[in-house]
């Protein structure tokens, strides 16, 4: 059986469980109950490794969005939730983390069936991260304090602030890290005392569905967590325009982010947006080329490049340029593509045929415009949605492959001659995006100076990954606001100022 190669004995049982779950009847989770969509619609999802139909899923439309918003609003008026002590909210989140941990192998198998990622990554990165995010945010539930404020007006005052939950939150997530993104959204919202309506991507609804079963078992009050599976243009758009929704948090494309912002304007919803990126990776002359090669390859090829802050533009000092490009190209050419369940798979498929053709199209356009393909020319199995990881040199800033977010394993490599940090930063900043930046150097002064001048929400020096404590978000067209850390939970609260004349 596929999967047995990676998953040892207890985990084979998990794969069987995941398959049984995939085949079960999926519904919407609204107001603490599993319900059919009002018009009975369903849609199919596909296994990206084979293209075959995977599951039939309930399709929420406008009327179901109305029902979910009504249920969430009732939860925000129900003292069982609104008066729940912070420590009790923390316990619920910790219980959810424990439940996720207890079922982590099954969730990992489910994520790989649905998204295609190597099951090892699903288990040891996506699941591990989701569990940590729940525990981290559980910790915040008991620490959402206001301040006392010293006032200067005439008279004597006692003034203070309190942080209240923002209310009903619609949370719309993409397909590249389905569970990790869903949990990154629900954990701080629930810790802050909000009620949520989660809409996973239509391509990858399965781990969110399984998560809703855990939520139901753990005993959150009815309507605190609701799940709508369905399409962006219908269920998603209905939520973002809904007058009963107080806040929208979204991770996805910049284009859809703009639509969401417009829809949210009607009732001035609070909005947090995590959008696209075109992250620069900068290798200074003092860097160890071997580490830079490994880091640069990881930055662009992880998750088949379907990462918002994938390091898609590589700037290397000319001293190391040939060596680094050859090194990354060698890794790309040697990468084993295949099912996420095969033990030796290093890169899974991309999410869909549309995405595969889009990514290949960018590479083709780059070559037609004069770029040189240094890796990525090999043929790959076309029964699934595979893309050969590609490395291009000789691009220029007008080319789409260099300018636009590709969301695939495609790297543009450029060299620079002088160590003029302002010029390097200016080139790295020459993009409408500003999500991440990576620097490889041991020169402290250069690292800190670049960190100051790079216009990016996250600057990493010599590696480093995601952490629930580290704020994550974008400058410029990469988004609004931050997730994770103190800022991430604050974004689910409103500040109320209370001033009392004594």
Where in the sequence numbering do the catalytic residues fall?
A: 274, 308
Contact indicator for 239, 448 with CB cutoff of 8 Å: no
Degrees to nearest 5, angle at CA 353 with 352 and 359:
90
| Alpha helices by DSSP H, 202-288 | 206-218, 237-241, 254-265
CB of 419 vs ligand ADP, minimal distance in Å: 36
Query: For residues 253 and 117, what is the distance between their CA atoms, to the nearest angstrom?
Result: 20
Whole-number minimum distance, CB 259 to ligand ADP, in Å? 4
Q: Are 443 and 419 in contact (CB under 8 A)?
A: no
Rounded Cα distance, 363 and 164, in Å: 49
Q: Is 352 exposed, middle or buried (0-12, 13-18, 19+ CB in 10 A)?
A: middle
Query: Which CB atom, from 210 or from 317, has the smaller least distance to ligand ADP?
Result: 210
Nearer to ligand ADP, 256 or 332 (CB): 256
- Residue ranges binding ligand ADP (CB under 6 A): 172-174, 199, 201-202, 231-233, 236-237, 240, 252-253, 256, 259-260
List of E strands, 39-109 = 42-46, 53-58
| Least Å from the CB of residue 293 to ligand ADP | 28
Name the residue number minimizing CB distance to ligand ADP.
Answer: 232
**Residue 487: C-alpha distances to residues 32, 468, 492 (Å):** 29, 11, 9
Min dist. Cβ of residue 175 to ligand ADP (A): 6
Environment class of residue 273 by beta-carbon count within 10 Å: exposed (0-12), middle (13-18) or buried (19+)?
buried
**For residues 173 and 292, which CB has a smaller minimum distance to ligand ADP in the complex?**
173
Quick one: 22 or 307, whose CB is closer to ligand ADP? 307
- Tokens for 61? 């439309």
Nearer to ligand ADP, 106 or 202 (CB): 202
Considering beta carbons, is residue 187 or 271 the nearer one to ligand ADP? 271
Kindly give the interhelix angle for 206-218 and 9-23, rounded to the nearest 10 degrees: 100
- Token couple for 19: 């398959």
Q: Are 293 and 328 in contact (CB under 8 A)?
A: yes
Q: Are residues 285 and 319 in contact, defined by beta-carbon separation less than 8 angstroms?
A: yes
Residue 341 Cβ, how far from ligand ADP at the closest point, in Å? 24
Comparing CB distances to ligand ADP, the nearer of 60 and 329 is: 60
Q: How far apart are CA 156 and CA 175, in angstroms?
A: 55
3-state secondary structure of 343: coil
**Residue 45: strand pairing partners:** 55
């Amino acid at each position: 059986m596929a999967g047995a190669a990676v998953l040892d004995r207890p985990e084979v049982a998990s794969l069987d469980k995941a398959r049984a779950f995939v085949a079960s009847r999926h519904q919407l989770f609204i107001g603490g109950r599993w319900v059919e969509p009002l018009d009975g619609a369903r849609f199919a999802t596909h296994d990206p490794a084979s293209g075959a139909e995977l599951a039939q899923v309930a399709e929420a439309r406008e009327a179901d969005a109305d029902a979910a918003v009504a249920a969430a609003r009732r939860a925000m008026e129900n003292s069982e939730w609104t008066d729940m002590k912070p420590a009790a909210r923390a316990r619920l989140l910790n219980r959810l983390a424990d439940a996720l941990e207890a079922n982590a192998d099954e969730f990992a198998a489910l994520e790989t069936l649905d998204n295609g990622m190597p099951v090892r990554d699903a288990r040891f990165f996506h699941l591990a991260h989701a569990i940590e995010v729940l525990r981290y945010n559980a910790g915040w539930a008991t620490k959402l304090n206001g301040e006392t404020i010293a006032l200067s007006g005439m008279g004597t005052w006692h003034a203070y602030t309190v942080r209240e939950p923002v209310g009903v939150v619609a949370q719309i997530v993409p397909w590249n890290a389905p569970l990790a993104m869903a949990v990154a959204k629900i954990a701080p919202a629930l810790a802050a005392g909000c009620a949520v309506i989660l809409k996973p991507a239509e391509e990858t609804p399965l781990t969110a569905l399984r998560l809703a079963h855990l939520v139901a078992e753990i005993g959150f009050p009815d309507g605190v967590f609701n799940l709508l599976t369905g399409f962006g243009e219908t269920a998603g758009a209905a939520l973002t325009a809904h007058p009963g929704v107080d806040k929208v948090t979204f991770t996805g494309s910049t284009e859809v982010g703009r639509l969401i912002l417009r829809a949210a304007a009607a009732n001035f919803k609070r909005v947090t947006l995590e959008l696209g990126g075109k992250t620069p990776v900068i290798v200074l002359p003092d860097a160890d080329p071997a580490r830079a090669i490994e880091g640069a390859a990881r930055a662009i090829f992880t998750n088949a490049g379907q990462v918002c802050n994938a390091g898609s533009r590589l700037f290397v000092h000319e001293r190391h340029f040939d060596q680094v490009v050859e090194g990354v190209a060698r890794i790309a050419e040697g990468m084993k593509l295949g099912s996420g369940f095969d033990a030796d798979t290093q890169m899974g498929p991309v999410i869909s045929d549309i995405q595969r053709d889009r990514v290949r199209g960018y590479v083709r356009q780059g070559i037609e415009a004069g770029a040189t393909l240094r890796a990525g020319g090999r043929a790959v199995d076309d029964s699934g949605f595979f893309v050969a990881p590609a490395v291009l040199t000789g691009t220029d800033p007008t080319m789409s492959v260099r300018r636009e977010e590709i969301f695939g394993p495609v790297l543009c490599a450029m060299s620079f001659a002088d160590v003029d940090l302002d010029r390097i930063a200016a080139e790295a900043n020459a993009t409408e995006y500003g999500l991440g930046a990576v620097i490889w150097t041991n020169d402290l002064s250069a690292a800190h100076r670049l960190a100051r001048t790079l216009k990016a929400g996250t600057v990493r020096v010599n590696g480093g990954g995601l952490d629930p404590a580290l704020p994550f978000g974008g400058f410029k067209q990469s988004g609004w606001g931050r997730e994770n850390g103190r800022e991430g939970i604050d974004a689910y609260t409103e500040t109320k100022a209370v001033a009392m004349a004594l």
